[in-house]
Amino acid sequence: MIVTSKNLKETEQCADTFIRVLKSHEKQATIVALYGDLGSGKTTFTQYVAKKLGVTDTVTSPTFVIEKMYKLSHPLFSQLIHIDAYRLESSTELLNLNWQEIISDPKNLIMLEWPERVADILPDNMQKIYFTFTDETTREIKL
Ligand SMILES: Nc1ncnc2c1ncn2[C@@H]1O[C@H](COP(=O)(O)OP(=O)(O)OP(=O)(O)O)[C@@H](O)[C@H]1O
Ligand SMILES: [Mg+2]
């Protein structure tokens, strides 16, 4: 599905649609890889996902801290983990952030920005979303 979002409201609606169809796995975490250039809307989309899942804390970009975790009271997921791999030198750094443990918990929903940086340790069955900057207010979101 390709969505042309003309403003933040439409990106929020797209996040809503995404959550509605979101399913968890039986034995592992749900990993959502967010592809797209700087400013294409990966963090913005994740902020709306967090809002819809009931996160009341402000969701800021994890660029400088790499990883942020938010507790959820949701039937499928108990934790939202927002990761920005942009500044990682190698996937080993992600492994050092307890990656194996995090991905083995089916109650975890992982939203991962810049998955290209850690491609070698990502499972094949992860979900992928592609963001493209069209103009100042327009983004294409391919789910
Ligand atoms: N239709 C739209 N959908 C999403 N964001 C939009 C839209 N129009 C404008 N924007 C703006 O684009 C910016 C997207 O920035 P965001 O931090 O989400 O990008 P990003 O993909 O996470 O970048 P980075 O790779 O640097 O982390 C925000 O400032 C947001 O307000
Ligand atoms: Mg971002």
The ligand 1 atom nearest the CA atom of 141:
3
Q: What is the pLDDT of residue 59?
A: 82
Query: Is 61 a pocket residue for ligand 1 (Cβ < 6 Å)?
Result: yes
Q: What distance in angstroms lies between residue 103's CA and the mean position of ligand 2's atoms?
A: 21
Q: Strand, helix or coil at 55?
A: coil
Query: Is 3 a pocket residue for ligand 1 (Cβ < 6 Å)?
Result: no
Considering only residues 60 and 15, tell me which one the structure prediction assigns the higher pLDDT.
15
As a whole number, mean pLDDT of residues 119-124 equals: 95
Q: What is the pLDDT of residue 7?
A: 98
Query: Is 137 a pocket residue for ligand 1 (Cβ < 6 Å)?
Result: yes
Considering only residues 60 and 22, tell me which one the structure prediction assigns the higher pLDDT.
22
Percentage of the chain exceeding pLDDT 70 = 100
Please, what is the average pLDDT of the chain? Answer: 95
As a whole number, mean pLDDT of residues 25-43 equals: 97
Q: What distance in angstroms lies between residue 106's CA and the mean position of ligand 2's atoms?
A: 24
Q: What distance in angstroms lies between residue 95's CA and the mean position of ligand 2's atoms?
A: 20
| Per-residue pLDDT reduced to its tens digit, 39-79 | 999 999 999 999 999 998 788 888 777 999 999 989 999 99
DSSP designation for 117: G
Q: What is the pLDDT of residue 65?
A: 79
**Minimal-distance CA residue to ligand 1 atom 13:** 39
As a whole number, mean pLDDT of residues 106-119 equals: 97
Structure tokens given for 78: 């108990």
32-64 CB burial, b ≥16 within 10 A, e <16: bbbbbeeebbbbbbbbbbbebbebeeebebbee
Q: What is the pLDDT of residue 69?
A: 95
| Per-residue pLDDT reduced to its tens digit, 76-93 | 999 999 999 999 999 999
Residue among 5, 18, 44 whose CB has most ligand 1 atoms within 8 A, to mutate? 44
For 116, the enclosing helix (H) or strand (E) is none
Rounded to whole angstroms, how far apart are CA atoms 88 and 53? Answer: 27
Q: What is the pLDDT of residue 79?
A: 96
Give the model's confidence band at 129: pLDDT under 50 very low, under 70 low, under 90 confident, else very high. Answer: very high
Query: Is 113 a pocket residue for ligand 1 (Cβ < 6 Å)?
Result: yes
